[in-house]
Structure 1
Amino acid sequence: MSETKLPKVVIIGGGTGLPVLLRGLKKYNIDITAVVTVADDGGSSGRLRDELDIPPPGDVRNVLAALSEVEPLIEDLFQHRFNTGNGLSGHSLGNLLLAAMTTIRGDFVTAIREMSKVLNVRGKVLPAANQSVVLHAEMEDGTIVSGESKIPYSGKKVKRVFLSPEKVEPLPETLEEISSADLIIIGPGSLYTSILPNLLVPKIGEAVCEAKAKKVYICNVMTQAGETLSYKASDHVQALYDHMARPFIDTILVNNENIPANVQERYTKELALPVEVDEDKLQAIGLEIIQDNLIRYEDGVIRHDTDKVASLLYSMIDVT
């Protein structure tokens, strides 16, 4: 008797948004593949990337932790960040373990697979490429800013982002997962520095555009200074379309819950405002709009409500 095939869901992103979403999705009986950016060049990840010439492990570490099914103490250990120690300060244990496994196995992807076994990870975690890439941004004034961590602080408006080297290869497995997916989820996360670095890897963006699966974009709740200042929901989508040179998203998931004044005040200091949902424009570009109360608060910080969003996404899966 053959096993029932689980619905295949591919999630593309990075940063803090992706792990939040995955913690909710892993509760469902689905086949999860997370495609994670390798453009990070800041903090512990950036140091290990430069010193050991390996892809940055930080975003992958957070996704592995989110999808792990181990005792909380083991996850806490994996996520532990050293605050003192000459050379150790600032590094997380998980980053060091991924770096060590990459050195032992000689390959970042193999290291992720081995750590996935140790952490009993629910699903697959695949880097967008098996090597580091550098993210560059061309600003509206024509200047180029290089480095994912530097782009949001340039004080200028992003026109487009691009990668080097140009000929970086994605994993064949990643392309297979995308082409056979039942649902492809893009975001949430920083538009130019967490989402687009994945889609700009040669063949990945094309595979997403060509895939038969329904494609859902989870729009950020707040604008982000240095990336999406004053962007409406349609501006986020248009930026994705401009970089892929074609429309490819079927559905946009947006928050319609009011942000409390005290929380907005905190974000105003960061020049961040709630993303305006311009329904007419979204409908004009052919998108199905799903609006709901999608947020929760952690110490005054806005996060997507992982259970609510996961439930909505699961309801979209069509395997007929």
Structure 2
Amino acid sequence: MSGPLGLHADQPLKVVALGGGTGLAALLRALKREAGRSRDPWKLTGIVTVSDNGGSSGRLRDELGGIPPGDLRNCLSALTLEDSALSDLLNYRFKGDGSLAGHSLGNLMLWALADLTGDWVRAIRQLSGVLVTVGRLFPSTVVPITLCAEDMAGRRYEGETAVGSCRPPLARLWMEPAEAEPLPEAVLALLRADLVILSPGSLYTSTIANLLLSELQEAVAISRAPVVYVANLMTEPGESSGLDLENHVAAIASFGRVGISAVIANSAPLQPEMLARYREEGGEPIAAPSAEVLGIPVHRFPLLDPEAPMARHHPDLLNQAIRETLTRL
């Protein structure tokens, strides 16, 4: 008996999610029920971009070296089976004006474990065991990398924070050093994938960033796994200002060089008060007015979390949307 994507029922579905920041964490939160169930669990892997140079992560990167731990910590927290005091500790931020102010305890714990073991993969695995998480999590690379961009007017942006304030659309987007090697475990996960999901999040600095590593691009192509893009709910002031869904998909195809098999987009309207607040800050809903964009099927679902104070994907609704999209692939 065959299951989704033609797999035999006794074969676990191998799903790889790529992204960074809050977007990948939201996607992993939606997928973890599939990875954590006792019967026919999915084999879930998250691959996290590590080009962040702002906040607590940026300070640790500047002061201590290595890769920034913030997005890894955020995604580890999303994969915990149950909320607990330990997951709360992971996200705790120090207050005050001292040298620890603004640092996340989880960032410090991850960096310390990586320093003690000399291995980021082992550090993540050890912290995962303490937290009781489902799935696997890998940084896209353990080489310190810098995200760079150039807009249509020739202005250059260096570092994730600067690229996040760029003026879209971009003429160029790349990583330095260009020869930075991805983590072998991340490449292998993509080569073996049955399904690849591109997470929502900041378009250039999260969704596309991992795909700027050429070996990861090639692994997606070699695997022949369908690629599903979970579209953002809103545009982001700065890097996606004025970009519609078609622009987002075109940017992924242009810079990420992967063929998208389907797009999952939101169909639920925002409450008027929330919409007005976003528009004051320069954000707009990303609508999906038709069933196709650039020839790619668009599957529309109500995805908004009605309880959230900001526009966020509801994990259960996103989970249902992914499962239904799988049946259509």
Moved over 6 A (4+): none
Q: What residue in structure 2 maps to residue 313 of structure 1?
A: 322
Measured after TM superposition, the shift of residue 17 of structure 1 is: 1.3
Q: What residue in structure 1 maps to residue 296 of structure 2?
A: 287
Q: What residue in structure 1 maps to residue 124 of structure 2?
A: 112
Q: TM-score, normalised by structure 2?
A: 0.90
Q: TM-score, normalised by structure 1?
A: 0.92
Contact 1:7 1:317 in 2 (8 A): no
* Matches of 2:307 and 2:93, distance apart in 1: 20
Q: What residue in structure 1 maps to residue 313 of structure 2?
A: 304
Deviations 1:222-267 (A, max 9, x none): 111211112111111100111144x500000011111222111110
The alignment status of 1:158 with 2:164, answered yes or no, reads: no
Q: What residue in structure 2 maps to residue 83 of structure 1?
A: 95
Q: What residue in structure 1 maps to residue 6 of structure 2?
A: none
Of the three residues 30, 51, 67, the one matched with 2:79 is: 67
Deviations 1:174-225 (A, max 9, x none): 1121121121100111110111110111211222233222210011111112
* Matches of 2:142 and 2:234, distance apart in 1: 31
Contact 1:54 1:108 in 2 (8 A): no
**Any residues of structure 2 matched to 1:44-193 within 5 Å, and which?**
44-69=56-81, 72-84=84-96, 86-154=98-166, 157-193=169-205
Q: Which amino acid aligns with 2:33?
A: K
Extract unaligned runs of 5+ from structure 2: 1-8, 35-40
Contact 1:250 1:286 in 2 (8 A): no
Extract unaligned runs of 5+ from structure 1: none
Measured after TM superposition, the shift of residue 171 of structure 1 is: 1.7
Contact 1:18 1:189 in 2 (8 A): yes
Q: Superposition RMSD on alpha carbons, in Å?
A: 2.0
* Matches of 2:297 and 2:191, distance apart in 1: 22
Measured after TM superposition, the shift of residue 280 of structure 1 is: 6.8
* Matches of 1:62 and 1:280, distance apart in 2: 33
* Matches of 1:123 and 1:280, distance apart in 2: 32
Deviations 1:130-183 (A, max 9, x none): 122100111111121101012222456533321000111112221121121121
Contact 1:217 1:249 in 2 (8 A): yes
Of the three residues 200, 216, 222, the one matched with 1:210 is: 222
Q: Which amino acid aligns with 1:307?
A: D
Q: How many residues align?
A: 314
Aligned residues with identical type, % of pairs: 37
Contact 2:197 2:227 in 1 (8 A): yes
